[in-house]
């Protein structure tokens, strides 16, 4: 007998997985990553997840689903939460992804760390049942942390798992989980708030502007939105400007080769990445913004370098620092 666990690295999913493993069932843990809750090429997170999966007793598979997830963020059938978090559709999507891998790994059911009433939008009794139905996993999901509150799943009815070893937790309290973790020797887990940036007000605002713009809604652009100051230029393109050396070097590392980028010549200041296809006017406006956040020089004007690797472009722009009015008009906080 084998099960597939929707593994997030949070305490609930570790406990749920472990409670199944303790019954002698082999579990394949699946961590579905997107750019909205993980950074591009973040090796340290992958290593940490591997450690957490070992604690849970399962083998870990990390699968990138960012591309398919963009459609969910753009148009969630069940709407958004407080910010741009499409929680109901996200859960349906992740369960469907899990279902896709069930046959390949010969898993008979799915395990989740869901706890009834833990989240108001996506974890009420009716919503959990609706999500299960929409994911086409009727009766095939085992929830070892809230088992007693739901109709028995097929694995429970058929005796593949022993419900008496499960717990029945409800609500937002973490006491039972923490006690259980202690008794199972589980010491490490990810923060319960999970780090999904779609629940963050400021980040959601930036993503909304990016979705409305003509520029690509892709992984690299989303990653760029995690840093710096954000500007919406009058003709629709977006500018992201680093706030310090660390952000500047990150932006340079992650930018697309087709992106225009700017930085001040011979003085300290931000690196700016333009998202979208800028006109000459957009580049001049961006140079003004970069000049405004650069260290004052001997003269009022600054020399800003504008480059584009795929176009082999490198231009020196003599730029006057942007005015307060322009900054107020374009900056998105």
| Interface positions with ligand SF4 (CB under 6 A) | 37, 85-87, 90-91, 122, 194, 196, 198-199
- Closest contact distance (angstroms) between CB of 122 and ligand SF4 is 6
Q: Which is nearer to ligand SF4, 143 or 255 (CB)?
A: 143
Write out the H or E segment, with its range, that includes residue 247. helix 245-254
Whole-angstrom distance, CA of residue 72 vs CA of residue 92: 10
- Closest contact distance (angstroms) between CB of 6 and ligand SF4 is 11
Q: Which is nearer to ligand SF4, 85 or 153 (CB)?
A: 85
- Closest contact distance (angstroms) between CB of 168 and ligand SF4 is 22
Structure tokens at 58: 């399962």
Q: Which is nearer to ligand SF4, 200 or 315 (CB)?
A: 200
Phi, psi dihedral angles at 221 (to 5 degrees):
-65, -35
Q: Which is nearer to ligand SF4, 199 or 221 (CB)?
A: 199
Q: Which is nearer to ligand SF4, 70 or 231 (CB)?
A: 70
Whole-angstrom distance, CA of residue 308 vs CA of residue 118: 48
Q: Which is nearer to ligand SF4, 30 or 261 (CB)?
A: 30
DSSP 143: -
- Closest contact distance (angstroms) between CB of 119 and ligand SF4 is 8
- Closest contact distance (angstroms) between CB of 99 and ligand SF4 is 17
DSSP 60: E
- Closest contact distance (angstroms) between CB of 194 and ligand SF4 is 6
Whole-angstrom distance, CA of residue 163 vs CA of residue 143: 10
Structure tokens at 276: 């979208």
CA distances from 86 to 80, 83, 135, 260 (A): 4, 8, 15, 31
Count of CB atoms within 10 A of residue 252's CB?
Answer: 13
Task: Measure CA 255 to chain center.
Answer: 18
């Amino acid at each position: 007998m084998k099960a597939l666990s929707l593994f997030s690295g949070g305490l609930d999913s570790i406990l749920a997985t472990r409670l199944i493993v303790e019954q002698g069932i082999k579990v394949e843990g699946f961590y579905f990553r997107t750019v909205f809750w993980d950074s591009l090429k973040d090796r340290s997170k992958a290593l940490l997840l591997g450690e957490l999966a070992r604690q849970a007793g399962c083998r870990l598979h990390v699968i990138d689903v960012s591309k398919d997830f963009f459609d969910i963020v753009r148009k969630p059938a069940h709407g958004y939460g407080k910010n741009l978090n499409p929680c109901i559709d996200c859960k349906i999507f992740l369960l469907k992804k899990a279902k896709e891998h069930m046959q390949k790994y010969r898993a008979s059911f799915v395990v989740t760390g869901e706890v009834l009433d833990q989240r108001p939008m996506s974890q009420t009794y009716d919503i959990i049942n609706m999500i299960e139905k929409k994911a086409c996993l009727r009766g095939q999901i085992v929830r070892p942390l809230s088992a007693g509150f739901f109709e028995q799943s097929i694995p429970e009815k058929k005796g593949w798992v022993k419900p008496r070893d499960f717990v029945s937790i409800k609500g937002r309290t973490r006491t039972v989980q923490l006690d259980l973790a202690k008794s199972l020797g589980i010491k490490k887990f990810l923060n319960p708030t999970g780090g999904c940036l779609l629940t963050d007000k400021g980040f959601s605002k930036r993503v909304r502007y990016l979705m409305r713009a003509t520029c690509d809604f892709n992984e690299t652009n989303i990653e760029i939105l995690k840093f710096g100051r954000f500007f919406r230029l009058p003709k629709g393109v977006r500018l992201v400007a680093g706030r310090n050396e660390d952000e500047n070097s990150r932006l340079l590392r992650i930018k697309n080769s087709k992106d225009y980028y700017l930085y001040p010549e011979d003085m300290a200041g931000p690196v700016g990445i333009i998202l979208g296809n800028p006109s000459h006017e957009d580049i001049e406006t961006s140079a003004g913004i970069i000049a405004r956040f650069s260290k004052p020089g001997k003269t009022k004007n600054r020399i800003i370098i504008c480059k584009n690797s795929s176009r082999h472009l490198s231009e020196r722009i003599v730029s006057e620092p942007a005015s307060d009015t322009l900054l107020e008009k374009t900056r998105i906080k």
